[in-house]
Structure 1
Amino acid sequence: MGVEGGMKCVKFLLFFFNFIFWLCGLALIVLGILVQVAIHNTFMIQDVSASVAPLVIIIVGIVIFFIAFFGCCGAWKENHCMVTTFAILLFLLILVEIAAAIAGYHFRGRITEVVQNSLTEMITRYNNSTDEFRKAVDNLQKDLTCCGANSSSDWRNFMPDGNSVPDSCCVNITAKCGVGAMLIPSKVHQEGCHTAMELLLKENIMWVIVAVVVIAVLQILGIVFSCLLMRGIRSGYEVM
């Protein structure tokens, strides 16, 4: 057969592609989980739109994980129906990923508003919330070396004296180091968490968008290989 060698090459390329595709699916699941945890556990952001992109990425990753195995079987067995179904599923996934990228980009444009609202809510709820919630807020301020939403003055209702902040705001954290030290730069961080948190969130969302674009490009290659193999199978060439 004149084209047997070429079709064999396409077959093994498709098989190799699906192995890489399987790894990408696993990577998407991990990335989506990490971003979701970063957004909701570390930052405790309650805005629903923040979950759209990472949740879609997790779902797509799971679907990719199983479709890749399906594609490997189709390529190896040279089954026209399986390869065709694989190509169609890839195309549908690309549409879903485009939607996820748009959702992520849309949320990225709203980060300033979402971060401000979330930080304000954290400060308001701090005194009357659970120990776990307060610990999360404290860890946020420690990790980002910041205090309050826009400045340490955001904690003016923290204690009756109007001049105290949580100990997690302190430059050198010790017991009750924030009492009466709200406006003392040598003792308390004066910068709010808004800027640092916004930057970190934008980086996380950007990683999601980059991952979606990379996977979509690989999927397009998969569709091309699938179409070539389908053409070879349909034409009656035997690909061993």
Structure 2
Amino acid sequence: METCGMSLVKYILFAFNLIFAISGLGIIIAGGLVLSDVSDFKHFTDNDLLGPPVVLIVTGSIVFIIAFLGCFGAIRESYKMLMAFSALLLVIFIVELAAGIAAAVYKGDFQSTFKKTLSASMTNYSGNEVERISWDKIQTKFHCCGVDNPEDWKKIDPAYPKTCCAANPTPHDLETGEVQENDFCKQDGGGTHLYSRGCYDKLKMKVESNMKVLVGVGIGIAFVEVIGIVLACWLAYTIKKENETSK
């Protein structure tokens, strides 16, 4: 006979897993958005930068699937399924923890390597179409010029790339110094101002912003996983104890 306590835990766990399944979809969406963002400048990075969002997408997919295992195990009052559910949650929790530690360790190396890659890539701008397209893309999208500042291009070529010119700067850009007056842009017809900030700082800010999203989502889902493990183990223990008592 089902006790009141076990019935309560069972339906709490069932409701929890419905929320857990929805959170799995949220994790997949968050990982996909970050991965899409990173793809804009992945040419200048190695595959390690793609690791965290990919891990998040895979984790979200697994979370979505095993949430149904938890729901089914709770309704069927299956001790084995609930324990399997708890074990899977624990594995996911450990994987997320390992990915978080790896991302923290990699952060320092990434920044120095990223800057060197950008500097090396600039030298191939004129002779390599892939490099030219990649630089034009990030300078246009992130409103930047060069690695640290526009003068980086002067070390390579007397003229700036056209994508360093801001055709329609906003009043805010002018006030903050994001763009500056430049004769090259006027003569070239590409605009009236030159982007004054380098792309390294802009891209670093973007990466750090994405990392904050990943960390926030990771911490949130880890907290939910711990609750799920506790509830599943509690219900499994209650089921096992009641089965032993009824024999």
Shorter-chain TM-score bucket reads 0.7 to 0.9
Report the equivalent of 2:149: 151
Instruction: Name the SS for the 1:125 alignment partner.
Output: coil
Q: Which runs of 4+ in 1 moved over 4 A?
A: 177-181
Give the TM-score taking structure 1 as reference length.
Answer: 0.84
**For residue 65 of structure 2, what is the aligned residue in structure 1?**
66
User: C-alpha distance in 1, partners of 2:127/2:67?
Assistant: 49
Separation of aligned partners in 2, 1:71 and 1:165 = 59
Change (3 A) 1:36 1:187: same
Q: How does 1:119-130 map to 2 (within 5 A)?
A: 119-130=118-129
Alignment-derived partner of residue 195 in structure 1: 201
Q: Aligned-pair distance for 1:35?
A: 1.9
The amino acid across from 1:29 in the alignment is I
Contact 1:11-1:229 within 8 A present in 2 as well: yes
Deviation per CA, 1:189-219: give whole Å up to 9, x if none.
2321111211111110121111111111100
Distance change (3 Å), C-alpha of 1:122 and 1:65: farther
Which of the residues 188, 199, 219 maps onto 1:213? 219
Shift of residue 43, structure 1, vs aligned partner: 4.7
Aligned length: 227
Question: What 5-or-longer segments of structure 2 have no aligned partner?
Answer: 169-183
Q: Distance in 2 between matches of 1:27 and 1:42?
A: 24
Percent of counterpart pairs with the same letter? 30
Residue in 1 that maps onto 2:181: none
Q: Look up the match of 1:37.
A: 36
Among 150, 153, 162, the residue aligned to 1:167: 162
Query: 5+ residue gaps in structure 1?
Result: none
One-letter amino acid matched to 1:35: V
- 1:1-240 matched pairs, under 5 angstroms: 4-130=3-129, 134-156=132-154, 162-172=157-167, 178=185, 187-236=193-242
Deviation at 1:8, TM superposition (A): 1.5
Cα RMSD (Å) of the superposition? Answer: 2.6
Task: Give the partner amino acid of 1:170.
Answer: C
Moved more, 90-99 or 16-25: 16-25
Q: Is the 8 A contact 1:53 1:103 kept in 2?
A: no
Q: Say if 1:34 and 1:42 are closer, same or farther in 2 by CA, change over 3 A.
A: farther
Structure 1 residue 99, shift from structure 2 partner: 0.7
More helix by share: 2
1:64 to partner: Cα distance: 1.0
Deviations 1:56-106 (A, max 9, x none): 212211111111111111111111111110001101111000011112222
Pick which of 164-173 and 199-208 moved more.
Answer: 164-173
